[in-house]
Amino acid sequence: MKKNLKKETENIAKQAKAASRSLAVLSSSAKNAALKDMAAALLEKQAAILKANQKDIARLSSKNKAFIDRLTLNGARVKQMAESLLEISSFKDPVGELIRAWDAPTGLKIQKVRSPIGVIAIIYESRPNVTADCIGLCFKSGNSVILRGGSEAINSNLEIYNILNGVIQKHGLAKGTINLITTIDRQAVDHLLKLNNYIDLVIPRGGEELINKVVKVSRIPVIKHYKGICHVYVDEDADLNMAENICLNAKLQRPGVCNAMESMLVHRDVAARFLPGMLKKFKDAGVEIRGCAFTKRIANWVKLATQKDYRTEYLDLILSVKVVDSLDAAIAHINEYGSHHSDSIVTDDNNAAAKFLQQVDSACVYLNASTRFTDGNQFGMGGEIGISTDKLHARGPMGLEELTTYKYVVYGCGQVRT
């Protein structure tokens, strides 16, 4: 590894650690004022952001439409980034929140208080809006942040970072409050993941290959935002018109994101009524269907699915379909082949709904709704760091509270232990 690259990466982490101490005690009003100015700066310098984004798009060779969609910024998406920062500024500051308080038998008064994690490193791919969202959420929750985006979005990320860091400097905040690894040399990430003396948490956002590498190399705790193999199960007691609308939305509204439906399960008793029209609508929308033998008998143009298909996050206009014999079979399939991200049941049977919601082991489970709602903004949490598919310490959309830990503050009056 190049010595200067190693030193540069370590210096960024040291700087972030030092900044985290002043951030931990920064007032809510100071944070909110900076966030509002960040939002205004994004809108004011929108033209520069879009120009940088066009440079990134022009550098692409043969990427699919879903990939290009994740990378592309436009006026509406820049506005969404600004609105997300404004929304974060309006939320209650979690730092210092009293979670619980009690008096111990010793007379000690104990408080469990929410506090920042410290330094968070976020390694992500493709989507440059992640840069602004992560900066806003980490800043409001009192954490310094080190960002390392993908090489495909380097110009967009750098422009957004420079604009927001300019606001940090204007407000006289500590150098290292927000940080961006600007080199596209992957060795920088390898070294970053070993800096457990300075970095408290790593959050990878991207494909399976990236996340597996981070988990393998990191000496720092990792919260995985793993792939989204999301299911919609159409039960025997489903309202089939509702089911059709939900499935179309879950797959087509934005197919290149982690909460899009990748696999559709249908109860055998309604398959002959539901699938012909449903599959035709998907075909007309350009979706390639990879289905089980039963599905192929209903529509002979369907490709026969393999076991691998049911474990694949397509992020594209491809959908796996399976006809199942029962609710139990659907639950078993989801727990076996899914990624514990977001899964939905469409049914009018309250007992079936309750069983599905209790037994499907995913971060977000839905009744009669699209999986596309798994999103911090849609949950009323503002922008999000991502969707955690882990169980510790955060699960599902990670907003402000999920970017904090806690400490015990203990008040005494001279007690000593005997």
Give the CA dihedral 345, 348, 352, 356, nearest 10 degrees.
20
Q: How far apart, in Å, are the Cα atoms of 370 and each of 200, 225, 244, 258?
A: 35, 20, 11, 13
User: Where does 230-373 sit in CATH, by number?
Assistant: 3.40.309.10
Residue 207 phi, psi dihedral angles, 5° rounding: -75, 170
**Residue whose token pair is 């639950």:** 331
User: What is 3-225+385-411's CATH topology?
Assistant: Aldehyde Dehydrogenase; Chain A, domain 1 (3.40.605)
Q: Given strand 144-148, what is the order of strands in its sheet? A: 178-180, 144-148, 119-124, 201-205
CA dist list (Å): 130 to 157, 261, 325: 9, 21, 41
Q: Write out the DSSP string of 216-264.
A: HH-SS-B--B----EEEEE-TT--HHHHHHHHHHHHHS-TTSTTSEEEE
Token pair of 42, please? 């994004």
Domain range annotation of the chain: 3-225+385-411, 230-373
Secondary structure, 3-state, 101-130: EEECCCCCEEEEEEEECCEEEEEECCCCHH
pLDDT at position 90? 95
Residue/partner pairs of 362-365 with CB below 8 Å, 24 or more apart: 362/334, 362/338, 363/387, 363/388, 363/389, 363/395, 363/396, 364/396, 364/397
The pLDDT tens digits along the chain (418 residues) read 466 999 999 999 999 999 999 999 999 999 999 999 999 999 999 999 999 999 999 998 767 777 888 899 999 999 999 999 999 999 999 999 999 999 999 999 999 999 999 999 999 988 899 999 999 999 999 999 999 999 999 999 999 999 999 999 999 999 999 999 999 898 999 999 999 999 999 999 888 889 999 999 999 999 998 889 999 999 999 999 999 999 999 999 999 889 999 999 999 999 999 999 999 999 999 999 999 999 999 999 999 999 999 999 999 999 999 999 999 999 999 999 999 999 999 999 999 999 999 999 999 999 999 999 999 889 988 678 889 999 989 999 999 999 999 999 999 999 999 9
What pLDDT is recorded for position 70? 85
Angle of helix 75-90 versus helix 129-140 axis, rounded to 10: 10
